[in-house]
A and B are shown apart, each in its own frame.
Chain A
Amino acid sequence: MDNTLIDVKDLKVHFFTDEGVVRAVDGVDLKLERGRTLSLVGESGCGKSVACRALMQIVRNPGKVVAGEILYNRGAEGGQAEIIDIAKMDPKGKEIRDIRGKEISMIFQEPMTSLSPMYTVGNQIIENILLHTNLTKEQARDLAIKLLDQVGIPRADRLVDEYPFRLSGGMRQRSMIAMALSCNPNLLIADEPTTALDVTTQANILDLMSDLQKSYNMTLLFITHDLGVVAEIADEVAVMYLGKIVEKSDVYTIFNSPRHPYTQALLKSIPKIAIKREDLDPIKGMVPNPFRRPGGCPFHPRCPQAFAECKVLVPTTTQLTPNHSVQCLLYENFANRIATEQKQ
């Protein structure tokens, strides 16, 4: 039984700016399994946010989904498959608007500014409920209170009428989660939901999210650059570098036997309490200018194991095991490709 909720194939999102085209997402393949958590990790600017916004078609101007498929199975779990391609939808059209907030919802990095200070928390949650269900205002309000209670907000019946600027960051992020869950989505996208919070609150929110994921049986796409968070929450991990997924596997494989030099470098760069300071090893070099990407493998200028071919050949996906793939020439049999590409 195929349990895929969303199958992203060769997704490309480009920004058409005055200075040139930024290829923010440049051929991404991802599979989101029902009821599982996939963590998307990578350095700042590698295209995580853009990629996940593309799943809802809310990429900002001047960004556009230029190629690829986002095959979404909206049929019930275990039932008849009903596959639609989100990549083909008009970002302003009714089709995708009916999916947003109902089947796929999202929470954002900045709890301080993601809710409008002009309306009460309740108003902003109820808005989502009324948009996608046939509930009356009173029913929607009751549901909002129930949801707020569920995400651990004390005195939810009072807080529902409170303005966001009177709440703490953690409370606001809880309200955002309540809002995102209000229509029982198939997929919840969380774009660095804990980055802006203090450590204790971070841990609480993470616990809450993994609890809710289980009780709602939803798929979670969790974006972060914090590998500690990944270890805690993820089933699968996809490592992103300059708009590409360079390595993808289950969380144990990624932490225990990373293959891509970038993943290895990422893991070495996280401070663990147990290890000594001198073992800490930041990744050398800078993330390249988005307008001047290196030819060949995008990581080669910073890669400790780069060799001559890395400068010219773009690595393709190599399947190491059924659930471990990597884009790196170290693991690719590229002799044939050199021959064919020289012929052309």
Chain B
Amino acid sequence: MWKYLLRRTGYMVFTVWVISVISFVVIQLPPGDYVTNLINQMISAGGEALPSDYEMQLREVYGLNDPMYVQYFKWISRIITKGEFGYSLVYKRDAAELITERLPMTFALSFGSFLFVWAVAFPIGVYSAVKKYSLGDYVFTFIGFIGLAVPNFLLALIFLFLSYRYFDQAMIGLFSLEFADAPWSWPKFMDLLKHLWIPVILIGMGGTAGLIRTMRANLLDELNKPYVETARSKGLTELKLLMKYPVRHALNPFVSTIGWTLPGLIGGEVIVSIVLNLPTSGPVLYNALRSQDMYVAAGFILLLSTLTVIGTFVSDILLAVLDPRIRLE
């Protein structure tokens, strides 16, 4: 168990490191550097071109003359020790501020979608496997394929249209008007929950359909295993033996899906958030990439990816807790 945990932690740290390098590369990708950008901005804002020795001085101040690895090291240590992500050239604000404003919403939305996906996919997957080829199985399979095939931005657009048409208001955003800029409070939180379910369903749709198929296939594999027959020959009720044996076995691949569901959810979140105008990190990240607002983009990429890696790590731990074969390995 400890060896397993240690190894997984090792993987996690390594992966996060690779991600940080990639994020750093993202910052370096556009032509020019921070100072060139700064100067261009000043010029476009009507300022005068700076003398070139002043430019050199700025570079020295920002450490842009250092070798790459030193720059990387400075960048990452500022993030780790001070939580400084740099400056947003587009929003003219501290990037860290922008990120802390948006990231919790993304987290809430992804986590909510994730719970939705599990809560729906688990019982339906079990039902579809146990009642294979029943009417219910066919209905869920059909709905599932629609959920898989229709991209969630289209679902979001259809939903927008319907809400305009029948409720006379667009169900967009995550808060009602009166709460949008209010400080956090219990009523604001309740208001958030009231709005959250819509994007949660829209984002979770595709993942749910996929996970239903996974659960159904896993469980079908397990239902005819000899240990199920043993359990039945003891006289357990069908429901009890189903839950204790085959479902428990089928849970393994289900749990490992935490890892790959999260990135999918975050990807879907970007698009749905743009369509529904949600105050999450998706739209900001998208804009940042378009307008080469590299410090913001890198910060988001680094944090979102790290969250995903942590999700995978959590699923690994959960697997070890669930499955003695992994734990005792």
Contacts and interface: CB of A to CB of B under 8 A. Distances in A.
Interface stretch (A124-132, A296-304, A315-323): A124-132
B324 A113 contact: no
A97 B236 contact: yes
A131 B236 contact: yes
B235 A99 contact: yes
A132 B248 contact: no
Contacts of A98: 235
Contacts, number: 72
Contacts of A102: 235
A58 B232 contact: yes
A128 B241 CA distance: 12
Nearest to A94: B237
A114 interface: yes
Interface stretch (A33-41, A103-111, A265-273): A103-111
Interface stretch (A115-123, A228-236, A245-253): A115-123
B81 interface: no
B233 A127 contact: no
The majority secondary structure among interface residues of chain A is mixed
A158 interface: no
The majority secondary structure among interface residues of chain B is helix
B149 interface: no
A137 interface: no
B226 A97 contact: no
Interface residues of A, number: 33
A60 interface: yes
A100 B248 contact: no
Interface in B196-242: 224-227, 229-238
A179 B233 CA distance: 11
Given A118-B323, A166-B328, A113 B233 contact: no
B3 interface: no
- Which of B227, B231, B236, B325 has the most chain A CB atoms closer than 10 A to its own CB? B227
B8 interface: no
Interface string A302-319: 000000000000000000
B235 A101 contact: yes
B232 A128 contact: no
Nearest to B230: A114
Contacts of B229: 58, 60, 108, 114
A98 B238 CA distance: 13
B233 A116 contact: no
5 contacts: A114-B227, A127-B234, A131-B234, A165-B325, A179-B234
Which are the 3 A-B pairs with shortest beta-carbon distances?
A: A100-B235, A101-B234, A97-B235
Interface of A: 56, 58, 60, 92, 96-102, 105-106, 108-110, 113-119, 124, 127-128, 131-132, 163, 165-166, 176, 179
